[in-house]
Chains A and B, each alone.
Chain A
Amino acid sequence: MRLVLFSLCVLASLCAARQSVAADWRQFRGNDANSVAATESLPTELSGDTVAWKAPLPGRGLSGPIIVSDKVFVSASSGYSHDRLHVICIDAASGEQVWQRQFDATGRTMTHDKMCNATPTMASDGERVFAFYSSNDLICLDLSGKLQWFRGLGSEFPNASNSLGMSSSPIVIGTTVVVQVESDAEAFACGVDTVSGETKWQIERPRAANWTSPSMLPAIGDQPALALLQSSKGLTAVDPETGKIVWNFEKGASTIPSVTVSDGAIVIPSNGLTAIRSTGTAFEELWNASGMSPATSSPVVIGNTAFVMNSAGVLSAGDTKTGERLWQLRLRGSFSSTPISAGGYLYAFNEAGTAFVVKPEADKGIIVSELDLAETILCSPAAANGALYVRSDQTLFKLAKRP
């Protein structure tokens, strides 16, 4: 009887832990870096009533929010030279600021006017948060704001910068923070230990400007998780623990929208979209959709349908089995952010601050609702616990169903 009770307790706590992870949105494009919030039920009829709260931010940012447990974390930069680095923690329920920490950039802070130092989205392992900036400052704080470690990759590698700005968001795989720092003058990727801040591995990368973010192929069966590093040359799969290169896809890829993974298929912005599947030590090609070219937004794949946004704000849906385009839907304005998928709907924010809820059907996409937030939005949104989070340069918004 005791054994049964114990087993039930263990099972319950494991379920709780899993639920906690599932409810978080821990990095750029979500926990699996694929823009899908499979279990979330978000409001579909957006209106002023669905704005649960608005929290003021101390600086600009293209970085999206992340959610860990009941807290929202977001980075920002401010100052004449954007050399002030902010990490802000906000209570998800109330929108009240819990704490804010500031740091001074140690690397170059120059960016294109549209970008700013706080362009990469933060990441978390559930116990710590990792903030990365265009200046290549990588900062680890615990969830209460205490500094755990600080890596000034901009000062350690002063030529690894881009005068237009750097935007690659780090991801966490196991106990490694995977970072890509790639520019014309110097380029590398590294794995940093989440606890100590020390470099586990560092590999040279193609010397060329690159604004894409690393992604991940989750562990499948006995195949361990892989970090996916994209560049103009293609896509490289590396062991996140050692940095050892597992395989190389060498047919070239975009340097702005990033690779995504859906049900084991690795969908690369390459020659339109190209899907491959890892076989462990190599890969096999699945399909290509040459007419499906994403602009700035990364592709999103749900089931057998891939979605891409072009520079004119046209959302295209394509069949992943045939590569054929299924339908197109014109949304208004330009898009820098990547839409997310939740509960069978797509949520997309244009640069002018208009949110679109789109219901994708087999032969068409339908705009279900729109909401004008009236502030510039360049970040990709986050979804957790039934709410959608998005930030402008001045404000963090929470959108949720009315209680």
Chain B
Amino acid sequence: MVCRAVVWIGAVALICCVSEAFAADISDSIKILQSVQPGGVGTAAGRSAIDSLAGAGTEAILPLLKGFKGSSPLAVNWLRNAFEEVVEAERKAGKTLPAETLEAFILDRTESPVARRLAYETLRAQAPEIEARLIPDMLLDPGPEFRRDAVARLIDEAGKADDAAAATPLFRKALAGAVHEDQVKKIAEALRANGETVDIQKHFGFLAKWMIVGPFDNKEEKGFAVAYTPETEAAEGRAPNTAAEYDGQLGKIQWKPLATEDDYGVVDIGKQIENFKGSLMYASTTWTSAKDQQVEIRLGTPNAWKLWVNGKLVFEREEYHRSSAMDQYKVPVSLKPGENVILFKICQNEQTQDWAQKYQFQLRVCDSTGSAVLPGLATAKNDRQTGESR
């Protein structure tokens, strides 16, 4: 009897040890994948780690998904491949994936949206009914793809409504979660057709009021590299001196206010001022932040440009007339509490083709989902959660 007990205790201890070692292996392998660096650094270790994880079976599924949070985009791709290897092996072995664990992970909004979406699509392949059960509650999810699905269902429902009175609240609800241009466009058209007011500028967080000065010289595209006074002021951490007078391309110039009423915040220099060929302009505005925060400045322009935030050059791009679109560029920036100064340099070249005449930009402040971050204490999210209509 004593002997049996000893054997039993020993067996349990062995299982515990093996299990702990197994968990440690999984954890170590995930850390290796998380530490893969650009330039191909760490890839040999990464390959071994995937081999190790692929052999771990379902035990590795949840730790792998949790590993996405805080990992670099590069590391996320390594983790994703390891996850897919594990899932494929389990399916080939005829095993069912742990549905409850996956669903709990999907519903945990503190986890990585990319990992949650991967878990969702993996589980949906096994249990298609989860789509109808989970998606309707994901209208304000941190994951843009979840939001898109939830919005699409509401648009569809509104489209089938008996009349405008029934459709309008559904479209309003859909708008609250919509972060993609095509869906917002569709919703706004439907609401406006029903006599509703929709503030698309505010919905997306476009900056509509600017001070602008120019033209400065950009003949032969040389002005892109020239630091005219507005940007030297910015580089010194000073706000643009809007009372100053500068030597411009065509004489003395001063800052002037310029606003846009375009739904998508397009400031059209070519139409609102003039399409000075071989010129450049500076546009400046301020954005009041309630706190230290990381946001994205997303912009679209067919012209060459530079962007400063609080005197720091955050990105520059010398490309002319290769198309323009909303959210063409996404620039992560840090904002400080209080007033933040945004300075934008936009350059026009001397191309003569019809398709090379645009001189415009649109710029907005949003979070990583594409949801507007509004200046001051108000946020788009707060507005939506309090049910305030636009």
Q: Which of B73, B145, B323 contacts A155 (CB 8 A)?
A: B73
**Beyond A104-B77, A152-B73, 13 extra complex contacts between A and B, CB < 8 Å:** A80-B144, A110-B325, A112-B323, A149-B40, A150-B77, A151-B39, A151-B40, A152-B74, A156-B39, A197-B43, A198-B39, A198-B40, A199-B40
Specify which chain B residues have a CB less than 8 angstroms from the CB of A103 in the assembled complex: 77, 80-81
- Report which B residues bind A (CB closer than 8 A): 36, 38-41, 43-44, 46-47, 50-51, 54, 73-74, 76-78, 80-82, 84-85, 88, 114, 144-145, 148, 180, 182, 302, 315, 317-320, 322-325, 328-329
Contact assessment for B319 and A146 in the assembled complex, using a CB-CB cutoff below 8 Å: no
* Chain A, Cβ-Cβ closest to B78: A147
Contact assessment for B73 and A104 in the assembled complex, using a CB-CB cutoff below 8 Å: yes
Min distance, Cβ A125 to any Cβ of chain B, angstroms: 16
Q: Considering the complex of A and B, which 6 residue pairs feature the smallest CB-CB distances, nearest first?
A: A197-B40, A147-B81, A198-B40, A149-B43, A163-B322, A184-B319
Specify which chain A residues have a CB less than 8 angstroms from the CB of B50 in the assembled complex: 146-147
Contact assessment for A163 and B81 in the assembled complex, using a CB-CB cutoff below 8 Å: no
Known: A198-B40, A199-B39. A146 touches B47 (CB 8 A): yes
Specify which chain B residues have a CB less than 8 angstroms from the CB of A112 in the assembled complex: 323
* Chain B, Cβ-Cβ closest to A152: B74
Contact assessment for A102 and B80 in the assembled complex, using a CB-CB cutoff below 8 Å: yes
Known: A79-B145, A155-B73, A193-B40. A99 touches B78 (CB 8 A): no
Cα–Cα distance between A183 and B302 once the two chains are bound (Å):
14
Min distance, Cβ A161 to any Cβ of chain B, angstroms: 8
Contact assessment for B324 and A163 in the assembled complex, using a CB-CB cutoff below 8 Å: yes
Q: Is A317 an interface position by the 8 A CB rule?
A: no
* Chain B, Cβ-Cβ closest to A108: B329
Min distance, Cβ A385 to any Cβ of chain B, angstroms: 26
Chain A, residues 142-173, CB within 8 Å of chain B (1/0): the string is: 00011111111001101100111000000000
* Chain B, Cβ-Cβ closest to A196: B40
Contact assessment for A148 and B47 in the assembled complex, using a CB-CB cutoff below 8 Å: yes
Specify which chain A residues have a CB less than 8 angstroms from the CB of B80 in the assembled complex: 102-104
Specify which chain B residues have a CB less than 8 angstroms from the CB of A152 in the assembled complex: 38, 73-74
Min distance, Cβ B125 to any Cβ of chain A, angstroms: 11
Min distance, Cβ A76 to any Cβ of chain B, angstroms: 15
19 A-B pairs whose Cβ atoms sit less than 8 Å apart in the complex: A80-B180, A99-B88, A104-B73, A104-B77, A108-B329, A146-B47, A146-B85, A147-B46, A147-B47, A149-B46, A149-B47, A150-B43, A151-B39, A151-B40, A183-B319, A193-B40, A198-B39, A198-B40, A199-B40
Interface residues of A in 157-210 (CB under 8 A from B): 158-159, 162-164, 183-185, 192-193, 196-199, 209
Contact assessment for B43 and A196 in the assembled complex, using a CB-CB cutoff below 8 Å: yes
Min distance, Cβ B131 to any Cβ of chain A, angstroms: 17
Min distance, Cβ A83 to any Cβ of chain B, angstroms: 10
- Report which A residues bind B (CB closer than 8 A): 79-80, 99, 101-104, 106, 108, 110, 112, 139, 145-152, 155-156, 158-159, 162-164, 183-185, 192-193, 196-199, 209
Specify which chain A residues have a CB less than 8 angstroms from the CB of B328 in the assembled complex: 110, 163
Contact assessment for B322 and A146 in the assembled complex, using a CB-CB cutoff below 8 Å: no
Known: A80-B145, A150-B78, A198-B39. A106 touches B73 (CB 8 A): yes
Cα–Cα distance between A102 and B84 once the two chains are bound (Å):
8
Contact assessment for B44 and A196 in the assembled complex, using a CB-CB cutoff below 8 Å: yes
Specify which chain B residues have a CB less than 8 angstroms from the CB of A163 in the assembled complex: 302, 319, 322-325, 328
Specify which chain B residues have a CB less than 8 angstroms from the CB of A209 in the assembled complex: 322
Min distance, Cβ A259 to any Cβ of chain B, angstroms: 24
Cα–Cα distance between A209 and B320 once the two chains are bound (Å):
10
Cα–Cα distance between A101 and B39 once the two chains are bound (Å):
22
Known: A145-B85, A196-B43. A150 touches B144 (CB 8 A): no
Min distance, Cβ B205 to any Cβ of chain A, angstroms: 18
Cα–Cα distance between A163 and B73 once the two chains are bound (Å):
21
Min distance, Cβ B121 to any Cβ of chain A, angstroms: 9
Contact assessment for A148 and B43 in the assembled complex, using a CB-CB cutoff below 8 Å: yes
Specify which chain A residues have a CB less than 8 angstroms from the CB of B36 in the assembled complex: 150
Specify which chain A residues have a CB less than 8 angstroms from the CB of B325 in the assembled complex: 110, 163
Min distance, Cβ A146 to any Cβ of chain B, angstroms: 6
* Chain A, Cβ-Cβ closest to B181: A80
Specify which chain B residues have a CB less than 8 angstroms from the CB of A79 in the assembled complex: 145
Specify which chain A residues have a CB less than 8 angstroms from the CB of B322 in the assembled complex: 162-164, 184, 209
Min distance, Cβ A102 to any Cβ of chain B, angstroms: 7
Min distance, Cβ B303 to any Cβ of chain A, angstroms: 11
Specify which chain A residues have a CB less than 8 angstroms from the CB of B180 in the assembled complex: 80
Min distance, Cβ B8 to any Cβ of chain A, angstroms: 40
Cα–Cα distance between A162 and B317 once the two chains are bound (Å):
11
Contact assessment for A104 and B114 in the assembled complex, using a CB-CB cutoff below 8 Å: yes
* Chain B, Cβ-Cβ closest to A209: B322
Cα–Cα distance between A101 and B38 once the two chains are bound (Å):
21
Specify which chain A residues have a CB less than 8 angstroms from the CB of B85 in the assembled complex: 145-146
Cα–Cα distance between A85 and B84 once the two chains are bound (Å):
14
Specify which chain A residues have a CB less than 8 angstroms from the CB of B38 in the assembled complex: 151-152, 155-156
Cα–Cα distance between A305 and B162 once the two chains are bound (Å):
66
